[in-house]
Chains A and B, each alone.
Chain A
Amino acid sequence: MPLRGGGRLEVLRDIQLAVRHGQIHALLGPSGCGKSTLLNIVAGLLPLDSGRLEIDGVDSAAFRDWAAIGYMFQDDRLLPWRTVQRNVELALENQPLSRDERRTRAAEIIGLVGLTPFAQSFPNELSGGMRARVALARSLVRRPRILLMDEPFSRLDAQTRGQMHAELVRLRELFDMTVLFVTHDIDEAAVLADTVTVLAPRPGRVVETFALDGAAPRDATSPGATATIRTLRDALGGQPASARGDALMETTA
């Protein structure tokens, strides 16, 4: 460490994080804690200035299997001039697949998110929840082993968000994926994650990592979840953990 985003600013310091295979791992923190930067480093979109990152047991510098990583943005970011089908196909266009294979695989995943009747619709004909499903389908169509999500549901209303949580848990089982997702929403972390790492801002650093019990998605009003929410809130407002030496991020998928 230190890690750096744009400019010469120290964004992250002493991040030590291991994401276990098959888990939904939340990075919870306020804005400015560098959680998106961390996600972009894992995605290979930002360089790692110092420290070490292993993906799938391979050092990130040697990692080449980018199709194994899916990325979902904060907003749906669909191409407005493409139909749902063609939007999902986009993610396959630099993959070694024939046109027919692309078409079939996109149609398959569109079916899995329940949008087959809308495959030929354009994004501006869809509701926000449906668009989020298309974005999810696009990030899954390469059948990634690791799915990175940057506050993917923060723009949705509460009810739609709940549906998307259930959808994500279901698809995670189906694809046997590891999910690393960033959120500033304590409830979302408590409902959805198997493990939550709480981050503190400026520079971003790990406060504490919690393992949560029970199968996601949990009921946010259940006693277990409310206790988790309280614990996470305390950790967010609390003191940072002591320095943990050199950074080591491992994702073992």
Chain B
Amino acid sequence: MAEISTERPPPAPRNERGVSPSLLRALLAITVLGVWWIAARGLPPYILPGPEVVAQAILKLAKTQTFLNDMGATLGRVVAGFAFALVIGTPLGLLFGSNQSVGAFFEPILPVLNTVSSAIWAIFAMLWFGLSNAATIFVVFMTAMPLIITNVWTGTRNVDPNLVEVALSLRFGRLRTFASIYLPSILPYLFSGARLAFGFGWRVSLVAETLGASSGVGYRLRQAADLFQADQVFAWTIIMVAMMIALEAGLLRPLERRLFRWQKARSV
């Protein structure tokens, strides 16, 4: 439309006035549910179960005894792998960042680790650890650690040398300089790396569990798929997504906002 109006400015897009984002979200959810419901009517339930079938499956699932065990098993493995990655990856990132020759020596390893598919790690895990918690923990660890090393390393290299000079002029010792200058400079990088690593960890834990576990959400997903219980697969999927969203909105995002308040501050 190449119409030029000299009388009044074009109206602002609707979503900038009036319509609230939460209303738009609700609309989107209704649309998705509607499309799903219509599509499910034309397909057999072992291919695409309808929303109401899946909702029933979720309710039934939540009542079973193994539900909490499976959730707990997966969550425990993710947290354990993630914790190992954090505890080992953070000092390594600091070491690589603070010692140039060590960093330059190990640098080529990181892209290699990052390109190895988590499915390959899962195969290795089965080979080395068999059907055990360790298999999934290992896969989460191998996926999360390079991300944490990379981010901490980047953070270390981005510490402002001018601020280090301030600490020097104040005659701070090494430890105090680290705690008051280096650590706070690196923290945003560490945090975004950890967030990324945790998200990846979740996803690969399921891959690992479908191959190398006898409990956990991934194991249940594969079991349901083997038995053509599509409603179960959908139910687990929705539960996992809901949990990720809840964790993100309820814990990670508020924590980040609180920790890095100073970045959001705007000029007067």
Contacts and interface: CB of A to CB of B under 8 A. Distances in A.
B162 A75 contact: yes
B266 A45 contact: no
A80 interface: yes
A126 interface: yes
A80 B262 contact: yes
B184 A81 contact: yes
B268 A125 contact: yes
A94 interface: yes
Interface string A169-193: 0000000000000000000000000
A127 interface: yes
B239 interface: no
B174 to A, nearest CB: 12
A60 to B, nearest CB: 14
Interface in A61-94: 66, 71, 73, 75, 77, 79-82, 90-91, 93-94
Residues of A contacting B: mostly: loop
B170 A122 contact: no
Nearest to B160: A77
A182 to B, nearest CB: 14
Interface in B136-194: 162-163, 165-166, 168-173, 176, 180-181, 184
Interface string B17-49: 000000000000000000000000000000000
B104 interface: no
A66 B171 contact: yes
B262 A73 contact: no
Contact of A125 (B163, B168, B180, B266): B266
A73 B160 CA distance: 14
Contacts of B169: 43, 45, 71, 73
B171 A94 contact: yes
A77 B163 CA distance: 6
B64 interface: no
Contacts of B260: 81
Given A66-B171, A91-B170, A79 B162 contact: no
Contact of A126 (B162, B172, B181, B268): B268
A71 B168 CA distance: 11
Interface residues on A, range: 20 to 34
A81 B262 contact: yes
B265 interface: yes
A199 B267 CA distance: 39
Interface residues of B, number: 22
Contacts of B163: 77, 79
Interface string B247-268: 0000000000000111101111
A94 B174 CA distance: 12
A94 B162 contact: no
A154 interface: no
A124 interface: yes
B172 A94 contact: yes
B173 A127 contact: no
B262 A94 contact: no
A121 B169 CA distance: 24
B184 to A, nearest CB: 5
Contacts of B171: 66, 94
A66 B169 CA distance: 9
A94 B265 contact: no
Nearest to A72: B169
A90 B172 CA distance: 10
Nearest to A79: B163
Contact of B168 (A45, A75, A82, A126): A45
Contact of B266 (A66, A79, A124): A124
A73 B265 CA distance: 24
A91 B169 CA distance: 10
Interface string A106-134: 00000000000000011111110000000
Nearest to A67: B171
Among B163, B169, B263: residue with most chain A CB under 10 A? B169
Contacts of A77: 162-163, 165-166
Contacts of B263: 80
B176 A93 contact: yes
Given A81-B184, A90-B180, A122 B165 contact: no
Given A73-B165, A79-B163, A126-B268, 15 more contacts: A43-B169, A45-B169, A73-B166, A77-B163, A79-B184, A81-B184, A81-B260, A82-B184, A90-B166, A90-B180, A94-B170, A94-B176, A123-B262, A124-B267, A125-B268
17 contacts: A45-B169, A71-B170, A77-B162, A77-B163, A77-B166, A81-B260, A90-B166, A90-B170, A91-B170, A93-B172, A93-B180, A94-B173, A123-B262, A124-B265, A125-B265, A125-B266, A126-B268
